[in-house]
Amino acid sequence: MIISVASGKGGTGQTTVAVNLALSLENVQLIDCDVEEPNVHIFLDIGMEEREEVKVE
């Protein structure tokens, strides 16, 4: 199953919804594709030790 959370407007709770969905499910890949302010690592208290440029097709 693939679930995506998106909106054209910022500040509407996409990250909050996505993080809570990920925490409530098992075997999840949560990908934060926000190009301006990716914040999932803050919600999950994950330290960002390095960054890597990726291409999503």
Mean pLDDT of all residues in the chain?
90
What residues contact residue 41 under an 8 Å CB cut-off, 6+ apart?
Answer: 32, 47, 48
Task: Give the pTM.
Answer: 0.76
Cα separation, 43 vs 15, whole angstroms: 8
Cα separation, 37 vs 33, whole angstroms: 9
Where are the chain's structural domains? 1-57
Question: Looking at residue 6, what is its pLDDT?
Answer: 92
Structure tokens given for 32: 């934060």
Question: Looking at residue 31, what is its pLDDT?
Answer: 92
Structure tokens given for 50: 């390095």
More confident residue, 40 or 55: 40
Question: Looking at residue 29, what is its pLDDT?
Answer: 94
20-37 pLDDT tens trace: 999 999 999 999 988 888
